[in-house]
């Protein structure tokens, strides 16, 4: 596939896919942090597996990941993977923000700097003028 500009439609598809995947990550975290799953961790593998597959949050997270993957396939059908894939870095940013604001996780200065570097990398890789 030749190098091509990214249309607004493809950009929208990328952002929706990446956002859904970030929400899936937070949803999976909710499922795995549930009391039932945490209590099962002291048991055997069957007890852990039952607790995990019984979690609605785990199922919802997996469904969201599948939906994000289907949308991502649409992206890959339209642009080069070397152009599309750096946008996956936005998922790191969104997941970190969702973790802070929805799960109350800490966000240190070093994480902030790393997140800014991810954004800079996305800008540099997707800049067609370079």
Whose tokens are 């785990």? That residue is: 58
Question: Is position 3 within any domain?
Answer: no
Question: Is position 2 within any domain?
Answer: no
How many domains are contained in the chain? 1
Question: Is position 1 within any domain?
Answer: no
Question: Is position 96 within any domain?
Answer: yes
pTM for the whole structure:
0.83
Q: Report how far residue 53's alpha carbon sits from residue 76's, in angstroms, rounded to the nearest whole number.
A: 31
State the average pLDDT over residues 90-105: 90
Q: Examine the pLDDT at 106 and tell me if it is beyond 70.
A: yes
Q: Minimum mean pLDDT among 11-20, 54-63, 83-92, 121-130: which range?
A: 121-130
Q: What is the pLDDT of residues 24-80, one digit of tens each?
A: 999 999 999 999 999 999 999 999 999 999 999 999 999 999 999 999 999 999 999
Question: Is position 55 within any domain?
Answer: yes
Of 29, 19, 11, nearest in space to 74 by CA: 11
């Amino acid at each position: 596939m030749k190098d091509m500009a990214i249309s607004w439609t493809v950009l929208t598809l990328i952002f929706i896919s990446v956002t859904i995947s970030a929400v899936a990550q937070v949803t999976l975290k909710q499922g795995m942090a549930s009391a039932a799953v945490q209590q099962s961790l002291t048991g055997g593998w069957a007890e852990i597996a039952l607790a995990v597959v019984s979690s609605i949050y785990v199922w919802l997270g997996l469904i969201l990941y599948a939906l994000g993957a289907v949308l991502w396939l649409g992206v890959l059908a339209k642009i080069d993977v070397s152009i599309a894939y750096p946008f996956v870095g936005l998922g790191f940013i969104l997941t970190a923000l969702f973790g802070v604001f929805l799960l109350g996780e800490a966000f240190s200065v070093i994480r902030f700097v790393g997140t800014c570097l991810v954004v800079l990398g996305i800008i540099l890789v997707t800049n067609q003028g370079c």
